[in-house]
């Protein structure tokens, strides 16, 4: 159904439209009451949205162009759904509002260059606000540039941040995280093809994964305290994270979480352990907590492509455009 014409439409571009997060952004922007999709691009161009993503054939009749800074700057806001390094090569020349889904502006310079590569736009890192809206929403209101968190840090930090200052300082923070295969991106590798993943599960980059320093930096602790173990599971999408912490004081952990997130529509504190099927296709993060003495089990679940990427990016875009942060976000699951 076509949207009614409005005087307050905001022109939006998406660079990196060919990937999984790109197609989710296209869907979200298309259904948004204020954003107007005016520019869709990837590294090649020369096709259409419907040809690139057949699910959108007959729905969105837009050309997919080769990515161009000049064309992007004709938009009011641009989403960058690009790999690290490629993202800052575009972002450094953009004059419009930017919502970046890569790692390029999430971290302090020294942390980024230790775990990624030399940064080509280091002077602008300070201008980007981390896009975890429940915790950085007020800061986002005063910026035009957003660094959207990674999917693993999103699921982890939403469960963990309410306990900052309440964890025994000498204890490790153990994060056992499991992701659907779409979290590895669209390009197939030896570890992500069907024959490897089907009816299988395995850890990768244990302890030394790049998301560990992101979690540590945003939580405010040394990376050595974060024992982060990511694993692939044989599902298409969805992410479930189990966290183990030791408290320094006795509190009612469930009541603490409910109070912390009482005004946050898209964080649900559950009475039973979380399930992937209850969040896939939505913007929700479900969290469960149980305590045994001073040891706490935290359990969270998100859709890695939505809450862990595209719908979180949309929430950030809403805020920096002075809109309701929940506008256009999926609260009823659709077929992913």
Q: If we measure between CA atoms, which residue out of 175, 246, 181 comes closest to residue 207?
A: 175
Based on its alpha-carbon atoms, the radius of gyration of the chain, rounded to whole angstroms, reads: 19
Q: How far apart are CA 267 and CA 283, in angstroms?
A: 9
Q: If we measure between CA atoms, which residue out of 219, 109, 227 comes closest to residue 173?
A: 227
| Residue 188 annotated among the catalytic residues of the structure | no
Helix (H, G, I), strand (E, B) or coil at 52: helix
Helix (H, G, I), strand (E, B) or coil at 35: strand
- Residue that the structure tokens 């736009």 belong to: 121
Q: Which of 96, 117, 151, 285 is catalytic?
A: 151
In whole angstroms, how far apart are CA 322 and each of 10, 83, 137, 313, 315? Answer: 11, 28, 11, 14, 11
Residue 150 is given by DSSP the state: P
So which residues are the catalytic ones? 151
């Amino acid at each position: 159904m076509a949207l009614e014409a409005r005087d307050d439409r905001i022109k939006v571009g998406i660079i990196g439209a060919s990937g999984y997060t790109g197609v989710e952004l296209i869907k979200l922007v298309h259904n948004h009451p204020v954003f107007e999709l005016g520019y869709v691009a990837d590294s090649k161009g020369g096709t259409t949205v419907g040809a690139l993503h057949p699910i959108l054939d007959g729905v969105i009749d837009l050309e997919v162009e080769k990515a161009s800074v000049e064309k992007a700057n004709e938009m009011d806001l641009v989403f960058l759904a690009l790999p690290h390094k490629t993202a800052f090569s575009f972002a450094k020349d953009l004059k419009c509002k930017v919502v970046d889904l890569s790692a390029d502006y999430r971290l302090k310079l020294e942390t980024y260059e230790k775990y990624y590569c030399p940064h080509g736009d280091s002077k602008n890192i300070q201008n980007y606000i981390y896009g975890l809206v429940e915790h950085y929403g007020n800061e986002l209101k005063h910026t035009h540039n957003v660094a959207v968190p990674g999917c693993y840090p999103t699921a982890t930090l939403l469960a963990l941040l309410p306990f900052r200052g309440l964890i025994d300082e000498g204890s490790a923070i153990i994060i056992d995280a499991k992701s659907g295969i779409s979290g590895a991106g669209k390009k197939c590798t030896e570890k992500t093809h069907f024959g490897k993943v089907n009816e299988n599960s395995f850890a990768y980059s244990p302890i030394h994964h790049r998301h560990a320093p992101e979690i540590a930096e945003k939580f405010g602790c040394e990376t050595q305290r974060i024992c982060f173990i990511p694993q692939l599971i044989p599902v298409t999408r969805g992410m479930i994270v189990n966290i183990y912490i030791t408290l320094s004081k006795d509190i009612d952990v469930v009541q603490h979480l409910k109070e912390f997130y009482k005004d946050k529509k898209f964080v649900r504190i559950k009475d039973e352990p979380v399930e992937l099927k209850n969040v896939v296709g939505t913007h929700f993060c479900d969290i469960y907590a149980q305590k045994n003495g001073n040891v706490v089990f935290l359990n969270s679940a998100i859709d890695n492509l939505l809450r862990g990427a595209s719908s979180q990016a949309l929430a950030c875009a809403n805020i920096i455009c002075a809109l309701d942060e929940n506008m256009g976000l999926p609260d009823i699951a659709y077929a992913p």
